[in-house]
Amino acid sequence: MLGFVGDVGDLAKLVMAEDGARPGGGREALEHELADCLWSVLILDHAFRRTMDELDSSISAQLPPK
């Protein structure tokens, strides 16, 4: 999660540079940072789905049969 937050911060700086509000940046750096953020989102999505499946199984096991 901390890596994701750092990547989002770096992305924000690059977007500001692209808009002319900060020095530096460049299109290639922006694309790279977007890819880093997407990777983190995909990993978090996988963890979220796994956790939801575990919760669903746990809750279903506690419910009375239909």
Domain boundaries, given as residue ranges, for the chain: 2-62
pLDDT digits (tens, 9 = 90+) for 11-58: 999 999 999 898 888 889 999 999 999 999 999 999 999 999 999 999
Q: Does residue 66 carry a pLDDT above 80?
A: no
Task: Please answer whether residues 38 and 45 qualify as being in contact, where contact means their C-beta atoms are separated by less than 8 angstroms.
Answer: no
Dihedral in degrees, nearest 10, Cα atoms 26, 28, 30, 33: -140
- Burial state string for 10-20 with b = 16 or more CB within 10 A and e = fewer than 16: bbebbeebeee
SS3 content of the chain, % helix, strand, coil (to 5): 80, 0, 20
